[in-house]
Amino acid sequence: MNYLIEQLQSKNIKFKNIPYWGIYFRKRWEEAFVSHLKQSEKEKMYLYGDRYTCGYLWHVFSYEKRPYLLQTAASDAFNALKKSKCYIFYQHSADILMVEHASTLKAAHFANEDDVYVVDENFTWTYVVTHESYIGPYFSKVDS
């Protein structure tokens, strides 16, 4: 997260660091993008836990359980969005970042990040960068 904060500061993108809200945002993300799956399906794709490849919300994409755009198409879709307020959070962090005026926020800002999720204030779309260099980034809309 420190590298991202430096990136945002160097581009004069104003943000607020909000501690301890990561759990809430991961749960809200799950409700928005994974609620169509049964609990047993979530367990089969290792959405939770700490065994094997467990505990990554983005598995909903890698297991092909939600429509998405991938790699360049994902980044292009994210860059093309008219963004106002965005939230940025990580799979394994308690803190989140809130960007009030996110119009200049681009996919390139997240190129060196791992397991980062970006959403609009209503969780209608998401841009996700994984820790796997050959998987992602992903872009998805709720109505997809």
* SS3 per-residue string spanning 93-132: CCCEEEECCCCCCCHHHHCCCCCEEEEECCCCEEEEECCC
Q: Is the pLDDT of residue 3 over 90?
A: no
Residue 56 lies in a domain: no
Strands (E) across the chain are located at 16-18, 69-70, 86-90, 96-99, 116-120, 125-129, 138-141
Residue 137 lies in a domain: yes
Domain that holds residue 82: 2-32+68-141
Q: How much of the chain exceeds pLDDT 90, in percent?
A: 76
Residue 58 lies in a domain: no
The values of phi and psi at residue 17, to 5°, are -85, 125
Residue 99 is predicted with a pLDDT of: 97
Residue 85 lies in a domain: yes
Residue 88 lies in a domain: yes
Better-scored residue on pLDDT, 25 or 55: 25
Tens digit of each residue's pLDDT (9 = 90 or more) over 75-101: 999 999 999 999 999 999 999 999 999
Split into its structural domains, the chain has a count of 1
Residue 39 lies in a domain: no
Residue 53 is predicted with a pLDDT of: 58
Residue 41 lies in a domain: no
Contact 107, 99 (CB under 8 A): no
Contact 71, 62 (CB under 8 A): no
Residue 40 lies in a domain: no
3-class DSSP assignment, residue 31: helix
